[in-house]
Amino acid sequence: MRNSTLIFAAASAAVLSAGCEESSTSPDSFFERQTVHVTDDEAAPWAKFVGDLDGDGNLELFVGYHGTGEIVQIAADGTVTNPIARQHAVLTDGAIVDLDADGANDIVLLTRHGLFAFFAPDFSALQLSPERFHDVRFVDENGDGKLEIVARNQSAFGTGHGDVRVLAGRRGIIPWQEKTLLESEGEGIETADLDADGDADIVLAGLWLENRGDGEWVSRAISTAWDWPHAKVAVADIDGDGRLDVAFAPAEPVDQRYKIAWYRQDDLESDSWSEQIILEDIESVVHSLQAGDVDRDGDTDLVYAEMHQGSDPDRVALLENRLDHGWREWPVDDEGSHNVVLFDRDVDGDLDIAGANWDGERQDVQVWQNTVCDEPWAGWSRRVIDDGRPGQAVFVLSADLNGDSWPDVVSGSMAYLNPGSDGTDWRRIVLGAESIDAAAAWDVDADGDVDILAAMYEPDRPRFVLLVNDGGAVFEISDTGIAMSGDFLQGVAYLGEPTPRGVVLSWHEPGKGLEYLQSPLSPSDRWEISRLSDFSQDEGLSSGDVDADGDTDLVLGTRWLRNDDPGWSIEVIDDTHDLPDRNVLADINGDGKEDVVVGFQAISEPGDIAWYESEDGTWVRHEVGTITGPMSVGAADVDGDGDIDIVAGEHNLEDPDSAMLWIFENISGDGAKWEARAIYQGDEHHDGAQVVDIDLDGDPDILSIGWGHDDVIWYVNRMPACPTQGN
């Protein structure tokens, strides 16, 4: 895009490279900054607001300049016009609204010479009040279908020091009648139907004014926990419960600190509210607070901006709403802005940000273009959970180890406790010696917490051990007494879901077949191991009801084992490919039956990915794609369009810097057509591409490890639900 600067840009590239890695403290954003109107140092762009003045159905950006008295209209294509020829020293707010109810939108401006209305079609000026105001909103206080003006002073702009007033009148009649609803200090108001009775109420710092619908107003408290009078206000259903909630940010004065918080409306009848703090400590120069679904994930986010008067950096930032899992802050800019607005400027289905500093540097009008729907597949970030895992590892697992509901991670001889919230600062737990390789996780001793079964590769005595969880992710090693019968464990599958008694084992060493390791009914009893099949395939192993008969079968790759209860029979999926590696079961075509996805063995060279569907007892092969070393596969609805996609990581030991993480998008929805999406380049994968919702935001993330490195990596899914996305 011309004349644009990429701000912390993740969405500018189809592939995340090692140089764009997400850190734990400064994650990527998806905004591009553009300058849309160049101003001089004396311009002072105080007012920023949006509206549809020409009635074309699209919102335009309006900027009112205090220094020059100019008001400009900036269209999405960059066209700048002046809807008002007369100059006014514009103050901090304005609006596009049909004030006289004639079907055409008018302009309302707060100026140094009072409150003005400019009526369409010629935009003739009418001074409604000589008072200087700081904020302007609109209500219908008597139910007659016509709007009254709600305005609020600020101590710097005249008398009243924050009084809330209602102005009512008719076009051509001046001055309009004013009445004071509330005598108060401070600034900032918003109007919304807070009590869901059909009319708009007024919200300001810590309280709201109930519109009774007959010209009467009742003051009601929101929370005494908010005691900062200068507050920007945002009203939205933040928690998705169908009731409007309220958020506040400290707008003034300079050189002090406070919090950003939102208040949940717990009950409409009782007018009960509960405080939820978003940011504990922030400079009181947050002169912008806007609400909307910025990341297109179905919930309401917040955007805030600090004025340039704060200490550097002056943050423009997105507060991502993660519902029950808190908020995550994403930086957009670090040079500040004043009175930013949030709207879909380019009409592409996502919300953009527009603003400018009111004084000093950076008075040019900026638009931070939301690219989340331009490149939805670029909405991935990479986080390294551990860059120095000791020893070699074959598996990476996910389970809640400490009972806090957050998925933790296990790989090799280490466990990593999920910190929740923003996903930073994972706590490492040493499970034992470096010779331990965790292979499976379930509640083995039936005490309500997750234990870990591991292979212990001690030279003199390779064996299986159980890492017994005390419930708080403190583990004690317990010897199963079962020795290994192969070189090293390569595949594990659970039997007896949802409460498995044991696991099926597949060895890297050829000819070792499949074994069943069964846990005891009582911790004091002995473990048992038995031979399940003389046949095995290298290297993956999956379990599921392949034939839909109600029991658990096993998939080895191009063969599967039918559960005949008792006994197992070998069935052929594909007899033309004898080197399958990893496999996973998933309903690829949406017919309600399990299909088999296979990545074929090809270390550091091209290999196929295919899926197989069962038709009347025979299997039909469908090609997905060819990548280097497809020895990590997973399957899930990654893009949220209702069908199953395939995740694949490249096992490229010869050139790991070129190794890719791919997602094959199920374009047709039935597995007939696929499109390869490159997510990251620079990580070698082996038994990675495990799909799990690590951050509990409702979409699947990817866990991965490699054979040639010691990293445990989390690829964070931040893909939006955009209008153009999907089938």
Confidence of residue 530 (pLDDT cuts 50, 70, 90): very high
- H, E, C per residue of 603-668: CCCEEEEEEEEEECCEEEEEEEEEEECEEEEEEECCCCCCCCEEEEEECCCCCHHHCEEEEEEECC
- Mean pLDDT, range 5-32, rounded to an integer: 40
Decide if 432 contacts 386 (C-beta within 8 A).
Answer: no
- Whether 16 has a pLDDT exceeding 70, the answer reads no
What is the torsion angle, in degrees rounded to the nearest 10, for the CA atoms of residue 456, residue 458, residue 459 and residue 461? -80
Q: What is the pLDDT of residue 11?
A: 29
Please state, for a pLDDT cut of 70, what percent of the chain lies above it.
94
Q: How far apart are CA 552 and CA 497, in angstroms?
A: 8
* 110-127 pLDDT tens trace: 999 999 999 999 998 899
Contacts of 330 (CB under 8 A, 6+ apart): 8, 27, 28, 29, 317, 318, 319, 320
* 570-627 pLDDT tens trace: 999 999 877 899 999 999 999 999 999 999 999 999 999 999 999 888 999 999 999 9
- Mean pLDDT, range 253-259, rounded to an integer: 93
Backbone angles phi, psi at 698, to 5 degrees: 95, -5
Q: How far apart are CA 531 and CA 461, in angstroms?
A: 21
- Whether 130 has a pLDDT exceeding 90, the answer reads yes
Contacts of 282 (CB under 8 A, 6+ apart): 249, 250, 257, 258, 259, 260, 306
- Whether 542 has a pLDDT exceeding 60, the answer reads yes
Q: What is the pLDDT of residue 8?
A: 31
- Whether 7 has a pLDDT exceeding 60, the answer reads no
**Distances from the Cα of 590 to the Cα of 238, 425, 553, 586, 668, angstroms:** 34, 39, 20, 9, 11
Contacts of 452 (CB under 8 A, 6+ apart): 397, 410, 415, 431, 438, 440, 441, 466, 467, 469, 475
Q: How far apart are CA 182 and CA 716, in angstroms?
A: 48
- Mean pLDDT, range 452-466, rounded to an integer: 94
What are the tokens at 406?
Answer: 């957050």
- Mean pLDDT, range 532-559, rounded to an integer: 91
Q: What is the pLDDT of residue 576?
A: 84
Enumerate the H helices of 368-498 as residue ranges: none
What are the tokens at 710?
Answer: 């010691």
What are the tokens at 665?
Answer: 């998008």
Confidence of residue 2 (pLDDT cuts 50, 70, 90): very low
Q: What is the pLDDT of residue 590?
A: 96
Decide if 691 contacts 699 (C-beta within 8 A).
Answer: no
What are the tokens at 342?
Answer: 């949030």
Decide if 521 contacts 527 (C-beta within 8 A).
Answer: no
Q: How far apart are CA 340 and CA 331, in angstroms?
A: 15
* 430-454 pLDDT tens trace: 998 889 999 999 999 889 999 999 9
- Whether 261 has a pLDDT exceeding 90, the answer reads yes
Rounded to 5°, the CA angle 615-618-623 comes to 80
Average pLDDT, the chain: 89
**Distances from the Cα of 670 to the Cα of 587, 589, 590, 625, 727, angstroms:** 9, 4, 6, 15, 10
| C-alpha 329 chain-centroid distance | 10
The least confident of 155-169, 232-246, 639-653 is: 155-169
Q: What is the pLDDT of residue 161?
A: 73
Decide if 523 contacts 445 (C-beta within 8 A).
Answer: yes
**Distances from the Cα of 605 to the Cα of 461, 611, 655, 679, angstroms:** 36, 20, 10, 20
Backbone angles phi, psi at 618, to 5 degrees: -110, 160
Q: How far apart are CA 310 and CA 334, in angstroms?
A: 11
Q: How far apart are CA 667 and CA 674, in angstroms?
A: 5
Contacts of 216 (CB under 8 A, 6+ apart): none
Q: What is the pLDDT of residue 12?
A: 27
Helices (H) and strands (E) in the chain, counts: 0, 57
Q: How far apart are CA 594 and CA 517, in angstroms?
A: 25
What are the tokens at 397?
Answer: 């697992």
The least confident of 267-271, 342-346, 561-565, 638-642 is: 267-271
CA-based torsion, 233, 235, 241, 243: positive or negative: positive
Confidence of residue 157 (pLDDT cuts 50, 70, 90): low
Q: Which of 660, 629, 632 is nearest to 646 (CA)?
A: 632
Confidence of residue 323 (pLDDT cuts 50, 70, 90): confident
Peptide bond into 175 cis (omega under 30): yes
Q: How far apart are CA 473 and CA 477, in angstroms?
A: 13
- Whether 141 has a pLDDT exceeding 90, the answer reads yes
Q: What is the pLDDT of residue 724?
A: 53
**Distances from the Cα of 643 to the Cα of 518, 588, 658, 662, angstroms:** 35, 7, 29, 17
- Whether 282 has a pLDDT exceeding 80, the answer reads yes
Buried b (16+ CB within 10 A) or exposed e, 601-618: bbebeebbbbbbbbeeee
Q: How far apart are CA 587 and CA 596, in angstroms?
A: 8
Q: What is the pLDDT of residue 498?
A: 61
Q: What is the pLDDT of residue 3?
A: 31
Q: How far apart are CA 285 and CA 281, in angstroms?
A: 12
- Whether 325 has a pLDDT exceeding 80, the answer reads no
- Whether 13 has a pLDDT exceeding 90, the answer reads no
Confidence of residue 171 (pLDDT cuts 50, 70, 90): confident
- Whether 39 has a pLDDT exceeding 90, the answer reads no
**DSSP codes, 115-171:** EEEEETTTTEEEEEES---SEEEEE-SSSSS-PEEEEE--GGGSTTSS-EEEEE--T
- Whether 725 has a pLDDT exceeding 70, the answer reads no
Rounded to 5°, the CA angle 295-301-307 comes to 105
Q: Which of 30, 54, 57, 63 is nearest to 366 (CA)?
A: 63
What are the tokens at 420?
Answer: 């929740």
Q: What is the pLDDT of residue 29?
A: 66
